[in-house]
Amino acid sequence: MNDAIHPLAKKAVIWHLALTALVLILMMIFGVIMLMNQGEMISITPQWFYKIMTAHGTGMVGIAALGGTAILWYFLSKYVKLNPAILIVNLVLFLTGVTMVLIAIFVFDFSDGWTFLYPLPAQSAKMYGAAGAVFFLAGMLILGIGFLLLYMYLAARLTAVYGSLGKALGWDIIFRGKKGYGPPAAVVATAMVIITNSTALLAGATVLAASLVNIINPAITIDPLLAKHLTYAFGHIFANCTIYMAVIAVYEVLSEYTKRPWKANKVFLIAWNCSTLFTLMIYTHHLLMDFAVPKWMLIIGQVFSYANGLPVMVVTAYGALMIVYRSRMKWDFASSLFFLSMFGWVAGAIPAIIDATIVVNHVMHNTKWVPGHFHTYMGMGVVAMIIGFMYYFNKTEGNQQHRGIDTFTITLYFAFFTGLVGSFLYAGGISAPRRWAEHLPQWVLSDQVGAVSGIFIVLAAIIFTARFFAGLRSVGTKVPYNKNSAAG
């Protein structure tokens, strides 16, 4: 099917992107404030530091998921007819959840981090009052329910169109010897995200509900190690899935720009099935320092964390290089960002894989090495994909054109993002802990480098966003997406 995206869904995509762009800037500013405080360039109280840290972590992952959802919905609409009401329901529940989270943090002083490790929320509730913890946990629950409804709907649609989620993942080609290509990449990626993120959200809902019950009635408890498993099964998979949603744009747009098909052959389908399986398993690398976890499970955490790098390194990123190679592709804002985003994703996977090695993790877990690697693939990967899509959307639905300032902004963003993640990784290398409001003198220089880099990243993000909003004015002046698109 190649139906045009529903006009209402198109509006909802714009709302998603506009909200993503604005919140992104705010969250980046929060990040800079934290670095400036650690770098002794400004002084805020530890309480405010940890409140900002909680907002930054929750907000960044949430907003990456929102931007990723906009990308998924927009491109999937080319192949599967979708009811835009579901997308709007998700947005409304997202906003409701986010509002509750913000109330928790900035009205009721909740500051237990977006990891909210049990029984920390209950402990904080005793000290600072239950309202903050209850608002935060309930807000996260509502936000999660919105995404779960969305995935249930998408699962039903893919099942109706392709027969089952397995067929949408190409199982009949992998296992039954069916010849030819599998469904479009957007469908394969959506099926993967449905399976993995629904699992994540159910794990998250379980631990969120259990924590809420524990706060209301402390006699009802949960095993802390089980709670940690559930929290990271939720958090790690949810964060990973933002990439798997956003990468759909890379497949679609690079294919369109190069006029080369990016079809789901057997290797492609095997890679996505491996990603499905590994993404479900590798959250255990967050528990490599919990030696009470059975040894075999920790070894699995290391081995499969390694293996999870293979699909992206060998198939997706390599495929992007192959499709661009000698293609005479036009380099503009979108194509540049999608190409660079593949670099960012793989560049982030390298220190991530190294950190998943138990003996390395033993001396680098919870140092700044960890935000170093995930800022690489979130900031230079997912966020680059989302910003690239903002431009692509305006170009395809309107008449936005690449200008000199776009080249400047892309250079600014990636150059200083390299500085930021470099400062994080270096700080991790010299054992600077993460999530510390105040740093020792030997760690301060790396914080200052990070803060200055962050300021220029914010500047780039403001220019990106201004260009996006300016470009929106022309949206709607062109024919619907699929009628003038070369992709397919």
Partner 1 sequence: MYQLIAMYATVFFVFLLALAFAFVYGESKRSGEYSAIQEKGYKIRKFYFLGLIAIMAFATIMTLGRLPYDRNQAEAEGFSEPKVVKVTGIQYAWEMSEERFEVGDKVQFDVTASDVTHGFGLYNEKMELVAQTQAMPEYTNTVYYTFEEPGTYQILCLEYCSTGHHVMVKEIVVEPEGGSSDE
Binding residues for partner 1 restricted to 458-487, rule: CB under 8 A? none
Contact 55, 30 (CB under 8 A): yes
Interface pattern 363-382 for partner 1 (x via CB under 8 A): xxxxx-x-------------
In Å, how far from its chain's centre is CA 74?
A: 17
Query: Can you tell me the distance from the alpha carbon of 89 to that of 173, in angstroms, rounded to the nearest whole number?
Result: 35
Query: Can you tell me the distance from the alpha carbon of 263 to that of 170, in angstroms, rounded to the nearest whole number?
Result: 12
> Applying CB under 8 A, which of residues 8, 325, 405, 476 lies at the interface with partner 1?
325
Interface pattern 277-316 for partner 1 (x via CB under 8 A): ----------x-xxxx--x--xx--xx--xx-xx--xx--
Binding residues for partner 1 restricted to 136-195, rule: CB under 8 A? none
Q: What residues does 433 pair with on adjacent strands? A: 367
Binding residues for partner 1 restricted to 345-364, rule: CB under 8 A? 346-347, 350-351, 353-355, 357-360, 362-364
Cβ distance to partner 1 smaller for residue 25 or 360: 360
> Applying CB under 8 A, which of residues 331, 399, 403, 408 lies at the interface with partner 1?
331
Q: Which stretch binds partner 1 (CB under 8 A): 129-137, 173-181, 200-208, 325-333?
A: 325-333
Query: Can you tell me the distance from the alpha carbon of 419 to that of 457, in angstroms, rounded to the nearest whole number?
Result: 10
Give the tokens for residue 198. 């629904």
> Applying CB under 8 A, which of residues 115, 199, 474, 485 lies at the interface with partner 1?
115
> Applying CB under 8 A, which of residues 96, 199, 327, 407 lies at the interface with partner 1?
327
Query: Can you tell me the distance from the alpha carbon of 12 to that of 365, in angstroms, rounded to the nearest whole number?
Result: 39
Regarding 43 and contact with partner 1 (CB under 8 A), the answer is no
Nearest alpha carbon to residue 154 among 181, 200, 193? 193
Cβ distance to partner 1 smaller for residue 75 or 424: 424
Binding residues for partner 1 restricted to 416-445, rule: CB under 8 A? 425-426, 428-431, 433, 435-438, 440, 442
Query: Can you tell me the distance from the alpha carbon of 178 to that of 158, in angstroms, rounded to the nearest whole number?
Result: 19
Cβ distance to partner 1 smaller for residue 178 or 260: 260
- CA distances (Å), origin 37, targets 46, 80, 426, 438: 9, 48, 18, 7
Regarding 326 and contact with partner 1 (CB under 8 A), the answer is yes
Cβ distance to partner 1 smaller for residue 92 or 440: 440
Cβ distance to partner 1 smaller for residue 76 or 385: 385
Minimum separation from the CB atom of position 65 to partner 1 (A): 22
Cβ count near 159 (within 10 Å):
16
Query: Can you tell me the distance from the alpha carbon of 69 to that of 189, in angstroms, rounded to the nearest whole number?
Result: 12
Cβ distance to partner 1 smaller for residue 436 or 469: 436
- Residues 6 or more apart in contact with residue 163 via CB below 8 angstroms: none
Minimum separation from the CB atom of position 114 to partner 1 (A): 10
Interface pattern 68-107 for partner 1 (x via CB under 8 A): ----------------------------------------
Minimum separation from the CB atom of position 432 to partner 1 (A): 9
Nearest alpha carbon to residue 214 among 134, 146, 143? 134
Residue tagged 């090695």 (tokens): 357
Cβ distance to partner 1 smaller for residue 72 or 340: 340
CA dihedral over 83, 84, 87, 93, signed as positive or negative: negative
> Residue 434: exposed, middle, or buried by beta-carbon count in 10 A (0-12, 13-18, 19+)?
middle
- Residue length of the chain: 488
Regarding 218 and contact with partner 1 (CB under 8 A), the answer is no
